[in-house]
Structure 1
Amino acid sequence: ASEGPLKGVRVLSLCQAWSGTFGTELLALLGADVVQIGSLHRPDVWRRVRDRVPRGVFDESKVQHPLNTQGLYNSVNLNKREICLDLRDPRGMEIFWELLPRFDVLAENFRPTVMPSWGITLDRLHEERPGMIWASISAYGSDGPYREYPGNGATTEPMAGLSSLHGYEGDPGMNTGGLYPDPVAGYFLAGLVVAALNHRDLTGLPQRIDLSMMEAVAVVCGDAIVEYGATGRVPGPTGNHHPAFAPHNMYQAANGADCDRC
């Protein structure tokens, strides 16, 4: 890892796809030593999508395994190291517990039932590594009626209410094109881990971070939630207009062909 404010911090990551891998990448870019645990039996889904790194980015004279040339996967795993472990195998779990005491943070983005099914619990983590910070991202959090539901940015966005605000005026609403909840949750994860590290430095106490993607995105919708609470009016899509800035829209340019946002 590069020099940075988190130099000396070690993160063991079980994250996959986008939200958690992006959050741990931010920690790596801040100087943390992030070790990603991968699986040969079930490779990260972003290793398998058809989005290769463009020609010329890597040394084409060297033989590259297709799983190592996926642009999406590489974009959220910069500055990391990686090992492969099969946590379904007793030897794989044995190695996991041998590694754990060397790390400050354990990060994952599974459904809340997955880690306990492997015998990974808060009590066991703190027994093996006192002061461990366990940071989790899940679709709807570790408790509540939706805790066992799997999800990602596409499913948590409408549940948080963001989809009802996105689109043109009069439209029923729609998801954002970039699966907004994933990077939002990643930013929250990185910030919460930094806060937890500071808390541990001050108190010596461990921390448990339980991050719901839906709740993280609901924070982004805070102005709409406050408006509804104050007026009873349900906000809807407003296109490119802005409630506080004017002019703020897409306008036809003088040549009649192009549109500019002001």
Structure 2
Amino acid sequence: MKQALEGIKVLDLTRVLAGPYATMVMADMGADVIKIEAPGVGDDSRAFGPYIANESAYFMSLNRNKRSITLNLKKPKAKELFLEMVKKADVVVENYRPGTMEKLGLGYEELKKINPGIIYAASSGFGHSGPYSKRAAYDAVVQAMGGIMSITGPKGGKPTRVGPSVGDITAGLFTAIGILAALNHRNNTGQGQKVDVAMLDCQVAILENAIARYVVTGEVPKPAGNRHTSITPFEPFETSDGEIMIAAGNDALFIKLCELFGTEEWVQDERFKSNPQRTKHVEELTPLITAITKTKTTKEWQELLDKAGVPNGPINTIDKVLEDPQVLAREMVVEVDHPVAGHLKMAGVPIKMSETQGSVRKPAPVLGQHTEEILQDLLGLNKEEIEELKKAEIF
């Protein structure tokens, strides 16, 4: 099956998570992603555990479907080779601190001189403008600064970091979206452009109702535990053997929930008859629901709630997620065969497309695995020329 980004060539200078996540999304959809790494060291995340046969599972999960070439970009000849690659590329992606590429003489203003159609995407902590631009950042830093920690955690508790690295991952997703938008513009006009994505900006962009609540009420949002602050009931409830998440997201669903519970009188109760009233009186409603949910197991409630048409779900641990029949049916757990690490399971491709389905076609590369192949096929170098580059420690 032909893939949506087949024919798009991406030069990937990124490392760790935000940038590699963006290029992984593109590689999964068929782009030829060439990962350019420092000789002998490579992407920082190659040193992140856990390991299988000295290969990082962290790195392998983010860099599938890519090819790896090593280049020492501090050497003039390596820069020359990179610039030749730019002439043949559609996209360059980097997540260095702003100014780093310019110091190397490889910033957007230089690259567009040799390829006016190039899409140059930069994903950094604070972006390429503003007073914080030159500061370094990691996921935890932007989670802290971007407000998401201040609204996460148990009610009355301390601000809490979100488990997955959403500071990096959202930046990766927005970077991929920006690249695709820029490619569409180029298809229409022939004009390339720079895509500048800041991790902090992305955290602000996903605050959604926290911003709305503050600007409307003037009250600073605080951690509210596992319940939704604007919709009720919308939280986990205790069962006889665990917990179940119940999300009655509108009045019609609340009526169905009451019918299931045999508490139809709640529908006419002034405290509970509308969502604003239920949210106002959540401290009264929650224990009433809990008294009912504690009478059956989580599985029993799942079956009853599903039959009633009320959204619900168990709180799965990771092992349960990887065994979930819906997750497996959607091919969201895939297995690749790595040349060193062997078999490795990882998350699949979440975007399902009827005509151009993406896929995990090959494992992450070992460091420099495709260097000679790329120098030959992309730049047309012969074996003697490649051997001279190797002696000069260009790669």
User: Normalised by the size of structure 1, how large is the TM-score?
Assistant: 0.90
Instruction: Say yes or no: does 1:84 pair with 2:80.
Output: no
2:93 to 69, 85, 107: 107
Instruction: Report deviation, 1:179.
Output: 1.9
Larger-Rg structure: 2
Taking the aligned partners of 2:110 and 2:133, their CA distance within structure 1 comes to: 22
Matched residue type, 1:140: F
Matched residue type, 1:72: Y
Q: Secondary structure at the match of 1:224?
A: helix
Taking the aligned partners of 2:212 and 2:49, their CA distance within structure 1 comes to: 42
How many residue pairs match? The answer is 246
What does residue 185 of structure 2 align with?
199
Contact conserved, 1:3 with 1:30, CA < 8 A, in 2? no
Instruction: Say yes or no: does 1:15 pair with 2:14.
Output: yes
Matched residue type, 1:23: A
Write the deviation string for residues 150-180 of structure 1: whole angstroms up to 9, x where unpaired: 1111111111111101101112311112221
Taking the aligned partners of 2:172 and 2:232, their CA distance within structure 1 comes to: 32
Taking the aligned partners of 1:25 and 1:77, their CA distance within structure 2 comes to: 6
Instruction: Say yes or no: does 1:156 pair with 2:142.
Output: yes
What does residue 199 of structure 2 align with?
213
User: Normalised by the size of structure 2, how large is the TM-score?
Assistant: 0.60
Contact conserved, 1:41 with 1:86, CA < 8 A, in 2? no
What does residue 61 of structure 1 align with?
none
What does residue 239 of structure 2 align with?
253
Matches within 5 A, 1:1-262: 3-53=2-52, 66=54, 69-255=55-241, 258-262=242-246
Instruction: Report deviation, 1:249.
Output: 2.2
What does residue 333 of structure 2 align with?
none
Any stretches of 5+ residues in structure 2 without a counterpart?
247-395
Structure 1 residue ranges, 4+ long, deviating more than 4 angstroms after superposition: none
Instruction: Report deviation, 1:13.
Output: 0.5
What does residue 57 of structure 1 align with?
none
Any stretches of 5+ residues in structure 1 without a counterpart?
54-63
Matched residue type, 1:259: E
Matched residue type, 2:31: A
Taking the aligned partners of 2:227 and 2:213, their CA distance within structure 1 comes to: 17
Instruction: Report deviation, 1:73.
Output: 0.5
Q: Secondary structure at the match of 2:202?
A: helix
Contact conserved, 1:46 with 1:72, CA < 8 A, in 2? yes
Write the deviation string for residues 228-256 of structure 1: whole angstroms up to 9, x where unpaired: 1121110111111013433222322124x
Taking the aligned partners of 1:115 and 1:244, their CA distance within structure 2 comes to: 45
Taking the aligned partners of 2:115 and 2:141, their CA distance within structure 1 comes to: 35
Taking the aligned partners of 2:39 and 2:112, their CA distance within structure 1 comes to: 28
Instruction: Report deviation, 1:41.
Output: 4.4
Q: Secondary structure at the match of 2:237?
A: strand
Taking the aligned partners of 1:3 and 1:21, their CA distance within structure 2 comes to: 23
Matched residue type, 1:45: D
Matched residue type, 1:180: V
Contact conserved, 1:17 with 1:45, CA < 8 A, in 2? yes
What does residue 59 of structure 1 align with?
none
Q: Secondary structure at the match of 2:194?
A: strand
Taking the aligned partners of 1:20 and 1:3, their CA distance within structure 2 comes to: 25
Taking the aligned partners of 2:38 and 2:4, their CA distance within structure 1 comes to: 30
